[in-house]
Amino acid sequence: MKRHLGLATVVLAALLAVSSCQFSEIVGSSKATKARTYYESLNLATPKDAVRTFTNAFKREDFMTVYLVLDAEAQKLLRIENARTFRWRHLIGETADEKLWDELDFEGIISTTVDPWYLFDQVMLYAANKDDLLIDLRGDVDILRSEESVTGEGGRAVDVIADAEGVSGKVVLRMVTDRDDRWRVYLVSAPDEGVDSWPSTALNASP
């Protein structure tokens, strides 16, 4: 009998602890709030946080997450450029781009889904396997500093400057906030690699 009472006490204490945690999340008294979606779970609190989230996803070839961290304007211009040119030279290397239509199963991809993040992931993964990414951030990335900047349209931005393993010269990741004040990647540039505006040439890399 005592054993049953002891077990019941432990179970009741555990249930109360869980209920207390759930209640604190609902009323916002807990520091760590539970994310509703995968996107909300991404750390985009500051420009440097967002860069780390972006480059860590790049490193593990999780290009779906890379796409999610791209700013909405960058995503839109990427899609427009793809539709206008039917090429991917602004996104991946020339060799991979030339073979892409012959070797990547676009018909199979489109029959599975037309979501742009999925197509982006497949194109980037194809180029990664060919070792022909236009800008390759799969190596270690060392953030050096950040500074105020502007977008091509004159909007507020922050440039995060970094050294990236295997990339010549400094890499600049131009960051902007979305409507929820979360930081996203507007563009990536690496002038010494000949990349002024990634993922779309329609983005202006000049401050």
pLDDT confidence bin for 93, thresholds 50/70/90: confident
Structure token digits, residue 7: 């077990």
> 16 vs 71, which has greater pLDDT?
71
pLDDT at position 3 is 42
What predicted TM-score, i.e. pTM, was given to this entire model? 0.77
Q: What is d(CA 58, CA 81) in angstroms, rounded to the nearest whole number?
A: 22
Separation of alpha carbons 42 and 49, rounded Å: 9
Radius of gyration of the chain (CA): 22
Q: Domains of the chain: which residue ranges?
A: 37-207
pLDDT, tens only, 23-46 = 332 333 334 578 899 999 999 999
Report the C-alpha gap between 123 and 93 in whole angstroms.
11
For the segment 95-127, what is each residue's pLDDT rounded down to a tens digit?
Answer: 877 777 677 666 666 656 568 888 899 889 989
Q: Are 146 and 158 a contacting pair, CB within 8 Å?
A: yes
pLDDT band at residue 86 using 50, 70 and 90 as cut-offs: low
- Return the sign of the alpha-carbon dihedral for residues 180, 181, 187, 190: negative
User: Is it the case that residue 195 has pLDDT exceeding 90?
Assistant: yes
Section 58-78 average pLDDT:
95
Distances, alpha carbon 19 to alpha carbons 6, 16, 22, 61, 149, in Å:
20, 5, 5, 38, 46
Please give the pLDDT value at position 114.
66
